[in-house]
Amino acid sequence: MTTRAVVEGVGHYLPDRVVPNAYFESFLDTTDEWIKTRSGIERRHFAADGQTTSDLAVRAARHALENAGCTADDIDGILVATSTPDLTFPSVATMVQNELGMTRGFGFDVQAVCAGFIYALANANALIVSGQARRLLVIGAETFSRIMDWTDRSTCVLFGDGAGAIVLGAQQGTGTAQDSGILSTDLNSDGRYRDMLFVDGGVSSTGTAGKLRMQGNPLFRQAVEKLTSTAESALEKAGLVDADVNWIVPHQANIRIIQGTARKMGIPMDRVIVTVQDHGNTSAASIPLALSVAVAEGKIKRGDVLVSEAIGGGLAWGAVVLRW
């Protein structure tokens, strides 16, 4: 018998304020047409003044707990993937823990930028498979609107705020690819690419939060290549091939990256979950947001094989294969 980390519930939260592309036309040299054609983004949500990453995370967590039919008392630990925490410390995870009224267990944040949710899932899987936890909340939550340079048209039109969460629980499997739950993970990073996507501030350098800087075009080319190779590696580790995949649930940065990766894997777009048009790039929140929306729409069903992949600052990238 093999212990598997199985998805028991999923949820998400998007702030009320929806910002269409046309909003940026009023103060930047850009157009709805450019943003739509180059990125696939049509609108994004921005958090209200005073609304923090932990606020979004708590709402997504409550939704996921309800969906799983359990309460905070059933949870052993919380992992929050974020690069935009409320404070330098304590972690967003311990803030969520407190808000949910959890007085036992543990919480910590995972920082791998847009690949954060994949890294958090891999860590949660390891905790469950090794017997250190029975049930975990894994959350991706971001307020990237807080680190935008509103004079930089090449970045500020691309990002949005939001949160998604899943409940992962231990279940016995057979050790084969027929099991439910996480079947494989694949993590990678390469610090030589630091300048391709970074924030130009921090605690021990400037003492400020800083603003996001990105070399979009070179990153685009890295993304398609690295996302395809990590997805293929994860599938191989799981003993599966592209044809076994029911859904790619990719990081939602750019529709052209999503299409390019699917094309390289030989998977048609009607088997790819796409939410980038409605959410923009929500960094670590994008995959759990896409999962939650797709489950609510009845697309992803029990037994389906999913491959999720993401890349972000570092560069850090990775993939997870799981049976829903």
Name the site residues for ligand UT7 (rule: CB under 6 A): 30, 34-35, 38-39, 114, 153-154, 157, 197, 216-217, 219-220, 223, 253-254, 257, 281, 311-312
Integer Rg of the chain from CA: 18
Please, what is the end-to-end C-alpha distance for the chain in angstroms?
19
Residue 205 or residue 217: which is nearer to ligand UT7 going by CB? 217
Residue located via tokens 């075009």: 217
- Whether the Cβ atoms of residue 265 and residue 234 lie closer than 8 Å to each other: no
Rounded to a whole number of angstroms, the minimum distance from the CB of residue 167 to ligand UT7 is: 25
* CA nearest neighbour of 139 among 193, 102, 97, 195: 97
Residue 2 or residue 151: which is nearer to ligand UT7 going by CB? 151
Cα angle: 250, vertex 65, 108; to 5 degrees: 70
Give yes or no: 70 in active site.
no
Burial 67-77 (b: 16+ CB within 10 A, else e): bbebebebbbb
Residue 185 or residue 252: which is nearer to ligand UT7 going by CB? 252
Residue 30 or residue 246: which is nearer to ligand UT7 going by CB? 30
* CA 12/CA 275 separation, integer angstroms: 13
Catalytic residue among 114, 123, 125, 279: 114
DSSP state of 169: E
Rounded to a whole number of angstroms, the minimum distance from the CB of residue 19 to ligand UT7 is: 14
Rounded to a whole number of angstroms, the minimum distance from the CB of residue 179 to ligand UT7 is: 31
Catalytic residue among 45, 63, 251, 279: 251
Rounded to a whole number of angstroms, the minimum distance from the CB of residue 111 to ligand UT7 is: 14
Side chain identity, residue 283: S
* CA 156/CA 159 separation, integer angstroms: 6
Give yes or no: 246 in active site.
no
Rounded to a whole number of angstroms, the minimum distance from the CB of residue 120 to ligand UT7 is: 16
* Residue length of the chain: 324
CB atoms within 10 A of CB 94: 18
Residue 128 or residue 227: which is nearer to ligand UT7 going by CB? 227
Give yes or no: 281 in active site.
yes
Residues classed as catalytic: 114, 251, 281
